[in-house]
Amino acid sequence: MDSGNNKKGKFEAQALIHLDALHRTALRMTRNENEAEDLVQETFLKAYRFWDKFEEGSNCRAWLFKIMTNIFINNYRAKSRTPQVVDLQDVDDDFLFGQLSALGPAENPEQHFFAKVFDDDVKRAVEELPEDFRLVVVLSFLEGFSYQEIAEIAGLQIGTVKSRLHRGRKLLQKALWDYAVKNGFIKEAAK
Amino acid sequence: MTCQEALRLLYEVIDKEANQIDSEKVREHLENCRDCMKRYEFEAMFKTFVTEKAISPTKTEQLKFKILAHLEEGEPESGGFFTNFFKNKNLIFAAAAILVLFLVSALSISQLYRHRTYVYPFEKHHLEGNPISIMENSNSLPLPQIRDYLASNLHLALSDSIAGYQMLHGGYDDIIGHKYVHLRYRNGSARVSLFFGRSADTVLPNFQKAVFAGTEYYRHVCGDCQIIYWKHGDSIAMAISEDKTVDLPAFIASVRPI
């Protein structure tokens, strides 16, 4: 049995070093700074209580994200538990690429697009994804977890992770295109 | 490999999830197919773009300090009370509840921990029909269930929205036999926590008696924190906010008896 200080020292060195990663994901998931802080704090307090259950040498970062995801799903997610229905029927896989290509090759529309979109619009687009999609997109894009790791963290089948990531990408691209058109960076190609 | 096959593997290759054979085949295809190459480049660029833009620079030093402070508090020598107590609680609830527990604001927190004499407004072992049994390994409960529970056991009606505050989440707690249900409300950055249990008929010191809209209540303000409790039949309710500008009396007036 570890003495208190030894336990705390180990916890600080192995778990608390992931504070920034958990916090940035918590920010995108809760969409609120106070909530994000609470979520991260609850995660670490819970992790500390179960620290003796953590297998040394295994992936501490993934273990912490799993704890945080559970707390988020139990305590923080939006009230409505109706299934999240997303209609993507009219959005092609290459929606954004197609739209930008249609603007013509001369002005290099992709570069123009990526240079013009506001940081805040990207954050907003991520935060406005339905929670199920947002979780896998954030874990993959922001945290670089593998499909297998995301499956374990979120308690999903790998196939579900893949399809949510795919649809999440489409939703993001559609939203960013809509913002760009609305902000006037892009004049929508004549249909 | 056809273009169709190459595009089917698009995201797996970009996410570095495709196996070596597939990745190699895709690479060969892309060398000979400008259209697919452009699409791959675009999707890779898109991923990098979102990753870079969606990460906010975070300031976590204060948070780290708070967490470290709680780790110490959460590990008392003599057993599980505080460990349980800090389970799933945020800083303000912990700090405020300690005040309620001890109500000796002149003593420092560290001194308070050494004292085991505390006052608690909720009666021990007196909340019927433990609602926690329904949820495994969690003291959080679905909101409709809490609402039903409060209505049938404590004869109180709670709505999703009180004075502009939205109900966030809630649950059931059992702290060394003091059982109560908690609910959390938020309005922007202001938050109010509500606690309901059976009255222990304890008059807490340092609380001022007052009346608002016909409801008699007791209020204690300490720094930015305010605590109100009021009795309703043989049950007792407590509201805590870390924001002293929150109009708690008006808030609790909206919690209606049935």
Per-residue pLDDT of chain A (191 residues), as tens digits, is 445 567 888 888 889 999 999 999 999 998 888 889 889 998 999 899 888 888 877 889 999 999 999 989 887 776 544 555 666 666 777 778 887 777 766 557 677 778 778 788 899 999 999 888 999 999 999 999 999 999 999 999 999 999 999 999 999 998 988 888 887 766 654 44
SS3 state at B183: strand
Q: B181 - beta bridge partners?
A: B172, B196
Enumerate the domain spans of chain B. Answer: 3-54, 88-257
Q: How many angstroms away from the CA of B187 is the closest CA of chain A? A: 12
- Judge whether B47 and B14 are in contact, CB under 8 Å: yes
- What is the pLDDT at residue B114? 29
Residue B39: list chain A partners with CB under 8 A. Answer: 94, 97
SS3 state at B221: strand
Confidence at B113, pLDDT banded by 50, 70, 90 = very low
Q: Does the pLDDT value for residue B124 go beyond 60?
A: no
- What is the pLDDT at residue B200? 66
- What is the pLDDT at residue B130? 45
Confidence at B152, pLDDT banded by 50, 70, 90 = confident
Residue B7: list chain A partners with CB under 8 A. Answer: 93
- Judge whether B146 and B154 are in contact, CB under 8 Å: no
Q: Does the pLDDT value for residue B246 go beyond 60?
A: yes
Q: Does the pLDDT value for residue B160 go beyond 60?
A: yes
B70 vs B59: CA distance, rounded Å: 19
- What is the pLDDT at residue A188? 59
- Residue with structure tokens 């800083």? B91
Contacts (Cβ under 8 Å, ≥6 apart) of B208: B218, B219, B220
Please name the residue of chain B whose CA is at the shortest distance from the CA of residue A124.
B54
Output the six-digit token pair for A10: 């180990």
Q: How many angstroms away from the CA of A91 is the closest CA of chain B? A: 16
Confidence at B110, pLDDT banded by 50, 70, 90 = very low
- Judge whether B224 and B231 are in contact, CB under 8 Å: no
Which of A27, A35, A122 is closest, CB to CB, to B53?
A122
Q: How many angstroms away from the CA of A72 is the closest CA of chain B? A: 11
B126 vs B235: CA distance, rounded Å: 10
Asked if the Cβ–Cβ distance from A110 to B67 is below 8 Å, we say: no
pLDDT tens digits along B57-94: 777 887 887 888 777 654 433 333 333 333 334 444 54
Confidence at B29, pLDDT banded by 50, 70, 90 = very high
Confidence at B202, pLDDT banded by 50, 70, 90 = low
Asked if the Cβ–Cβ distance from A8 to B87 is below 8 Å, we say: no
Confidence at B224, pLDDT banded by 50, 70, 90 = low
Q: Please tell me the pTM assigned to this model.
A: 0.58
- What is the pLDDT at residue A179? 86
Asked if the Cβ–Cβ distance from B47 to A141 is below 8 Å, we say: yes
- Residue with structure tokens 């089917």? B8
Mean pLDDT of B7-36: 91
Q: Does the pLDDT value for residue B138 go beyond 60?
A: no
Residue A79's CB is within 10 A of a number of other CB atoms, namely 13
- Judge whether B224 and B246 are in contact, CB under 8 Å: no
A164 vs A170: CA distance, rounded Å: 10
B206 vs B240: CA distance, rounded Å: 15
If you average pLDDT over every residue of chain B, what do you get?
A: 71
Contacts (Cβ under 8 Å, ≥6 apart) of A14: A56, A60
Residue A116's CB is within 10 A of a number of other CB atoms, namely 13
Q: Beta strands B190-198 and B256-257: pairing type?
A: unpaired
Residue B44: list chain A partners with CB under 8 A. Answer: none
Residue B138: list chain A partners with CB under 8 A. Answer: 74
Going by CATH, does the domain composed of A4-76 fall within 3.40.50.300?
no
Q: Name the fold adopted by A95-182.
A: Arc Repressor Mutant, subunit A (1.10.10)
- Judge whether A140 and B15 are in contact, CB under 8 Å: yes
A126-129: Cβ within 8 A, 24+ apart:
A126/A28, A126/A172, A126/B50, A126/B54, A127/A28, A127/A31, A128/A175, A129/A168, A129/A171, A129/A172, A129/A175
Which of A97, A123, A173 is closest, CB to CB, to B54?
A123
Q: Testing the interface with A: which of B40, B52, B58, B145 to mutate, by most A Cβ within 10 A?
A: B58
Please name the residue of chain A whose CA is at the shortest distance from the CA of residue B48.
A141
Q: Name the most confidently modeled range: A151-160, B180-189, B241-250.
A: A151-160
Mean pLDDT of B212-217: 79
- What is the pLDDT at residue B175? 53
A161 vs A147: CA distance, rounded Å: 6
Asked if the Cβ–Cβ distance from B68 to A28 is below 8 Å, we say: no
Enumerate the domain spans of chain A. Answer: 4-76, 95-182
Q: How many Cβ contacts (< 8 angstroms) between chains A and B?
A: 122
- What is the pLDDT at residue B15? 92
Mean pLDDT of B21-34: 91
Q: Does the pLDDT value for residue B102 go beyond 50?
A: no
Higher pLDDT, B125 or B235: B235
- What is the pLDDT at residue B109? 31
Output the six-digit token pair for A143: 């945290």
B86 vs B152: CA distance, rounded Å: 28
Compute the C-alpha angle A7/A26/A77, nearest 5°. Answer: 115
- What percentage of residues in chain B have a pLDDT greater than 70? 66
- What is the pLDDT at residue B104? 33
SS3 state at B18: coil
Q: Does the pLDDT value for residue B189 go beyond 90?
A: no
- Residue with structure tokens 């870390």? B242
Which of A11, A33, A38 is closest, CB to CB, to B90?
A38
A126 vs A137: CA distance, rounded Å: 8
Q: Does the pLDDT value for residue B203 go beyond 90?
A: no
Confidence at B176, pLDDT banded by 50, 70, 90 = very low
Which of B16, B60, B160 is closest, CB to CB, to A19?
B60
Mean pLDDT of B179-184: 78
